[in-house]
Structure 1
Amino acid sequence: MNDMFEMIYDAAGPKIMDDSSGVKFQQGDASEPTSKIFKLLEDASQQLYPGCDTFSKLSLIVELFQIKCLHGLSDKATDSILKLIKRALPSGETLPESFYGAKKMIQNLGLRWKSVEGQTTDGAIQGKNENKVPRKVLRYFPLKPRLQRLFVSSEIASDMTWHHDRRLKDGVLRHPADSEAWKHFDTTNPGFARDPRNVRLGLASDGVNPFGNLSVSHSTWPMIITVYNLPPWMCMKQPYCYLSLLIPGPKAPGNDIDVYLEPLIDELRELWYYGVDTFDASRKENFCMRAALLWTINDFPAYANLSGWSTKGALACPSCNKDTPSTRLKYGRKFSYMGARRFLASNHKWRSNKRDFNGEVERRPAPNILSGDDAVRQLLALGDMKFDIEGKTKDNFNARRNLKEMGIRRDLHPTYRDGRWYYPAACYSLSRDEKSKVCKFLKVVKVPNGYSSSISRWVKSEDRKINGLKSHDSHILLEQLLPLAIRGVVPSNVYDAITELSIFFKELCLKTLRVDVLDQLAAQIPITLQIRKDISTSLF
Structure 2
Amino acid sequence: MTNFGRMGLRPEFVEGVIGFVEYAKTLDPFQRSGMIKYPCNKCQCLNYEKADAVELHIYRNGFKKEDTVWTSHGEIDNNFDVFQHYVPGESSSNVNSNAQSYRIDDMVQDSFGVHSDFDFANQGEEAPNVECKIFFEQLESASRPLYEGSPHSQLSIAVRLLSIKSDWNVPQGAMDSVIDLIHDLVDPNLEIPDNFYKAKRLVSKLGMSSMRIHCCENGCMFYYKDDIDLESCKFCGKCRYEQTSSGKKVPIKAMHYLPLIPRLKRLYASNRSAPHMRWHHEHRRPPGVMCHPSDGEAWKHFDRTYPQFASEPRTIRLGLCSDGFTPHSVSAAPYSC
Q: TM-score, normalised by structure 2?
A: 0.50
Q: TM-score, normalised by structure 1?
A: 0.33
Higher share in strand: 1
Give the number of the structure whose alpha-carbon radius of gyration is greater: 1
